[in-house]
Chains A and B, each alone.
Chain A
Amino acid sequence: DVKVTQSSRYLVKRTGEKVFLECVQDMDHENMFWYRQDPGLGLRLIYFSYDVKMKEKGDIPEGYSVSREKKERFSLILESASTNQTSMYLCASSLGGTGFQETQYFGPGTRLLVL
Chain B
Amino acid sequence: QQPVQSPQAVILREGEDAVINCSSSKALYSVHWYRQKHGEAPVFLMILLKGGEQKGHEKISASFNEKKQQSSLYLTASQLSYSGTYFCGTERRSGNTPLVFGKGTRLSVIA
Contact = CB atoms under 8 A, between A and B. Distances in A.
Interface of A: 4, 31, 33, 35, 40-45, 48, 58-59, 90, 98-101, 103-109
B64 interface: no
30 contacts: A31-B98, A33-B98, A41-B103, A42-B2, A42-B102, A42-B104, A43-B42, A43-B89, A43-B101, A44-B101, A45-B98, A45-B99, A45-B100, A48-B98, A59-B100, A90-B42, A100-B95, A100-B96, A100-B98, A101-B30, A101-B91, A103-B44, A103-B47, A104-B32, A104-B99, A105-B44, A106-B41, A106-B42, A108-B40, A108-B41
Interface in B81-111: 87, 89, 91, 94-104
Contacts of B103: 40-42
Contacts of A42: 2, 87, 101-104
Interface of B: 2, 30, 32, 34, 40-44, 47, 49, 87, 89, 91, 94-104
A58 B101 CA distance: 12
